[in-house]
């Protein structure tokens, strides 16, 4: 596969004994950052912590989540390039990436929703809160699936 034969793949395999381990570590830190911040945000959207305004959580959570995602994405490419052909046929692989894609689409929908756009300026209607709760639930499902299947790749 071209990814395995790329310069990135070559660098991953030949730059040192600890390279894969360090890249893997950075990947986990990215995933943990992403999941931890999104977990809090999604639980808030689903109704927890009613006394805390959404506006207090939303920006730190979204910022951390984005940072975590970018780190996970870049390092994930490195991990993949190391031995891409080994993953052909691994079912966890084929669930993980659609889950991530769905999660990203959901992020787009949340950020473009009227409710999210307005949430810092005014109170939200019950209907708007329900809408955000629904998208928060989808978010949780997607990222939990991505995380879980990602971890299980190594056990196939």
**Contacting residues toward other proteins, per CB under 8 A:** 12-14, 17-18, 20-21, 24, 82-83, 86, 154-155
- Residue closer to other proteins by CB (options 22, 101) is 22
Question: For residues 37 and 68, is the Cβ–Cβ distance under 8 A?
Answer: yes
The residue among 12 and 146 lying less far from other proteins, judged by its C-beta, is: 12
Residue closer to other proteins, measured from CB, 33 or 82? 82
Q: Looking at beta carbons only, is 2 or 18 nearer to other proteins?
A: 18
Alpha carbon separation from 71 to 15, 23, 30, 56 (Å, rounded): 20, 10, 5, 24
Give the residue among 100, 91, 99 at the shortest CA–CA distance from 153.
Answer: 91
Query: Which residues are within 8 A (CB) of 83 and not within 5 positions of it... i.e. 6 or more apart?
Result: 4, 13
Q: Taking the complex as a whole, how short is the minimal distance between the CB of residue 16 and other proteins, in angstroms?
A: 9
Measured torsion, CA atoms of residues 78, 80, 82, 85, in degrees rounded to the nearest 10: -160
């Amino acid at each position: 596969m071209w990814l395995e034969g790329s310069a990135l793949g070559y660098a991953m395999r030949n730059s040192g004994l600890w390279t894969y381990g360090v890249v893997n570590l950075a990947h986990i830190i990215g995933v943990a950052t992403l999941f931890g911040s999104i977990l809090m945000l999604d639980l808030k959207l689903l109704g927890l912590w009613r006394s805390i305004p959404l506006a207090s959580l939303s920006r730190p959570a979204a910022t951390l989540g984005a940072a975590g995602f970018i780190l996970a994405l870049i390092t994930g490419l490195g991990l993949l390039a190391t031995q891409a052909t080994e993953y052909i046929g691994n079912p966890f692989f084929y669930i993980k990436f659609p889950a991530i894609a769905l999660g990203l689409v959901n992020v787009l929908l949340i950020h473009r929703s009227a409710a999210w756009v307005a949430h810092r300026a005014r109170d939200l209607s019950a209907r708007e809160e329900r809408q955000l709760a629904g998208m928060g639930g989808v978010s949780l499902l997607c990222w939990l699936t991505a995380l879980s299947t990602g971890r299980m790749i190594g056990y196939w």
